[in-house]
Structure 1
Amino acid sequence: MRKLFGIASAITALALTLTACGSAEPAGTTGAAAGQASASEVLKVGASPVPHAEILKFVKDNLAAKEGLNLEIVEFTDYVQPNVQLDDGQLGANFFQHKPYLDDFNASKGTKLSFVQPVHLEPLGLYSKKITDVAALAENATVAVPNDATNLGRALKLLADNGLVTLKDGVGTTATERDVATNPKNLKFQPLEAAQLPRSLEDVDAAVINGNYAIEAGLKPAENALVLEKAEGNPYVNGLVAAAGNEQDPRVVKLAKLLAGPEVKQFIEQTYQGAVIAASDAAVSS
């Protein structure tokens, strides 16, 4: 009986030792959760379908394996959820936005997301199915514009740069309809979610459309836009974004390096024929 008691005590002691050893890291906790993800772990990246997810697919199919990078691409058709899901940890990075939009999102939503690497510019353009020359835009014409703060300001600047309106001094990228100083043609602005703008062309006289949604709708910015945003000094370069503190995640670092590389630049030039411009070719303002 004493011998059996001794064996049971030994088993109990061993179990306690194993439990103590295992208690250093709770079940389900990984190095990634502690901010120590290895480069071999899957990196989930949220992206707009065109051109962002297409660029990421090129990286995944042609470049990632050589770097030991395992990518999962998650597509979104809006500009909100990719940041929401990055902030709450469902994504490891996203690729769909420019820095002015990110700065506005962080300020308004209280998120802490960091712009890691500029990749490309999608020039904003004014499109119409009713006219072929911007000078033919009639008085009291309705012009659809993006309804998010930074892209609305960007759209109004495009119109101002082409003589359709003037803006108050110093309004910058956050201009709204209230910041229009003069409007000679009495244009009517119709703010819409950016993804809806291509479909609005049937109902409005013209629409200012983000480059990614223009391409997705089969429009060719270099050919179809009445006027097109200039690349030089443009702050609206799209880039890779990570949660603050995760900029040095080895997977994010590798993806940033690949997105800035010559292979991606060549893919952008050959695939989009000027509708998308590599960041290295756009003299970006800081």
Structure 2
Amino acid sequence: MRQKLSLAATGAVALFALTACGGDTPSAEENTNENGATIVTVGASPVPHAQILEFVDENLAADAGIDLEIEEFDDYQTPNIALDEGSIDANYYQHLPWLEDQVATKGYEFEHGTGVHIEPYAAFSQHASVEDIPDGGVVAITNDPANQLRGLKLLEEAGLLENIDDETTVLSLTDSQNPKGLQFEENQPEVLVQIAGDPKVDLAILNGNFLLQAGMKTSDALLVEDVSGENPYANFLAWRAGEQTEAIATLDELLHSDEVREYITETWPNGDVSPTE
């Protein structure tokens, strides 16, 4: 089952769970459905994460003895808040650089599995080629550090920026790193997809899940990230440290199954979502 939650609703859900259970929320292993399958509540972005989880729930979960309750979130902060508060058992939406930043800044204590899939970063433009982007052109980019660096490296690959290192941000760019004098407008990743068509924006760098959710395709993008080989931005299942129950371990195993790999490849044959190698 899929259910959508917002940032505001998450605190209420967690509070209800705590008060209804007298402050003792059952673990994933203690919740079972009428057939005796262990219920695992997983937070996820709607596309592709919740869609992949729904495939698992409908085709693989029952035989493995688990039953997925899928909670959809439309932003990147809420799934980790919900996991930390205990209103979900695991989440599936994030990559390692994002998780490491969240742990460093929020103090979360999470563990995670290996990457399941990757969605390439893509930049959309009103211009037909990179060469058409003017000096001083406006680039819309995410305001979160982990994904912002990813966007800057994409611009470097395209020859628009130079000598980007792991500490570079839009605020620290020097004239030598930014020879075209590009102007950067930072915003939340879920907002960037809404302004991608703004004629004042010369280039909008979008996260894969949000562009898919908006019905966009990387085949229409001016720049697309190369995701071949090892890539730190593969998305994985995460859970609270020390709480990888048997049911969570089973879900993680199913997400890495040949059936899921085949589903991803068949559902997104153009590479908008790719299983990890």
TM-score class, shorter-chain normalisation, is: 0.7 to 0.9
Q: Which residue of 2 aligns with 1:64?
A: 61
Change beyond 3 A, Cα 1:35–1:263: closer
Cα distance in 1 for partners of 2:187, 2:236 equals 24
The structure 2 residue matched to 1:209, chosen from 206, 229, 235, is 206
Amino acid at match of 1:157: K
- The CA deviation at 1:37 is 3.9
Q: Is the 8 A contact 2:29 2:39 kept in 1?
A: no
Q: Which residue of 1 aligns with 2:184?
A: 189
Q: Which residue of 1 aligns with 2:8?
A: none
Change beyond 3 A, Cα 1:92–1:35: closer
| SS of equivalent residue, structure 2 residue 48 | helix
Amino acid at match of 1:165: L
Q: Is the 8 A contact 1:98 1:238 kept in 2?
A: yes
Change beyond 3 A, Cα 1:196–1:30: closer
Q: Which residue of 2 aligns with 1:156?
A: 152
Q: Is the 8 A contact 1:38 1:250 kept in 2?
A: no
| SS of equivalent residue, structure 1 residue 218 | coil
**TM-score with structure 2 length normalisation?**
0.84
- The CA deviation at 1:33 is 3.8
Q: Which residue of 2 aligns with 1:92?
A: 89
The structure 1 residue matched to 2:108, chosen from 108, 111, 115, is 111
Identity of paired residues, percent? Answer: 38
| SS of equivalent residue, structure 2 residue 171 | helix
Q: Which structure's CA Rg is the greater one?
A: 1
Q: Which residue of 1 aligns with 2:168?
A: 175
Q: Which residue of 2 aligns with 1:7?
A: none
- The CA deviation at 1:118 is 1.4
**TM-score with structure 1 length normalisation?**
0.82
Give deviations 1:122-154, integer Å, cap 9, x for gaps: 0001111x1121221111110100111100111
**Structure 2: gaps spanning 5 or more residues:** 1-19
- The CA deviation at 1:272 is 1.1
| Higher mean C-alpha deviation, range 199-208 or range 58-67 | 199-208
Change beyond 3 A, Cα 1:265–1:95: same
Cα distance in 2 for partners of 1:256, 1:245 equals 15
Q: Which residue of 2 aligns with 1:54?
A: 51
Change beyond 3 A, Cα 1:135–1:242: same
Q: Which residue of 1 aligns with 2:38?
A: 41
**Structure 1: gaps spanning 5 or more residues:** 1-26, 281-286
Cα distance in 2 for partners of 1:216, 1:81 equals 17
- The CA deviation at 1:31 is 9.9
2:237 is aligned with 1:264: no
Q: Is the 8 A contact 1:167 1:180 kept in 2?
A: no
Q: Which residue of 2 aligns with 1:278?
A: 275
